Amino acid sequence: MNSMNMLKENIRIAETAKIGKFSKKDIVLFEKVKKAINNKIKVPCTGCGYCQPCPAGVDIPGVFRCYNVCYTDHYFTGMREYLMCTTMRAKPSNASLCKKCGKCEKKCPQSIHIRKELQCVTKYMENPIYKFISFVSKKCFDKCYD
Ligand code: SF4
Ligand code: SF4
């Protein structure tokens, strides 16, 4: 939800929705949309957070969420979220910080090959522009915390 109008619309729908309101056609359409979105998801991370904390500081669920947004929405949307989620904070938490210790993988209920996927994220997301913005952010935070 990005605006007050969207919020109002959601409240209106929630107030009128009743059990059994969906027709068979609605359910088929809903399943089709769900399948189309799921097919685009790169990493089946549920965001449960059991893999956290990472000793190297990687925000594993946050990183995978942004990576998936690149495929389910748009590359720039995912990249913007990745920048905000991994660099606009006192301590960076991006994929390439991974030290490949493997601790997280033992705790993941989805059996995700986290180390391998983080390498894919690094390759896809951490381009020169990302590195430059990350560098500037770090300088700003260092100055603030001096
Ligand atoms: S393998 Fe990487 S992401 Fe997983 S806990 Fe170790 S350093 Fe963190
Ligand atoms: S434990 Fe697995 S599914 Fe849960 S947040 Fe971590 S990577 Fe995602």
- Cβ atoms within 10 Å of 92's Cβ, excluding its own: 17
Instruction: Decide whether any atom of ligand 1 lies within 6 Å of the 54 Cβ.
Output: yes
Q: When comparing pLDDT for 146 and 126, which is higher?
A: 126
Task: Choose the residue to mutate in 41, 43, 46, 118 for probing ligand 2, maximizing ligand atoms within 8 Å of C-beta.
Answer: 46
Give the per-residue pLDDT at 1: 61
- Where does the pLDDT of residue 21 fall: very low under 50, low under 70, confident under 90, or very high at 90 and above? confident
Residues 12-25: what's their mean pLDDT?
Answer: 83
How far, CA to CA in Å, does 112 sit from each of 25, 105, 108?
34, 7, 7
pLDDT in tens, 69-107: 999 999 999 999 999 999 988 889 999 999 999 999 999
* Separation between Cα atoms, residue 128 and residue 133, nearest integer Å: 9
Q: When comparing pLDDT for 96 and 144, which is higher?
A: 96
Query: pTM for the complete prediction?
Result: 0.81
Alpha helices by DSSP H, the chain: 4-16, 24-40, 60-72, 75-86, 103-107, 114-125, 128-144
pLDDT in tens, 29-56: 999 988 888 888 999 999 999 999 999 9
Contact indicator for 81, 66 with CB cutoff of 8 Å: yes
Shortest-distance Cα residue to atom 6 of ligand 1: 101
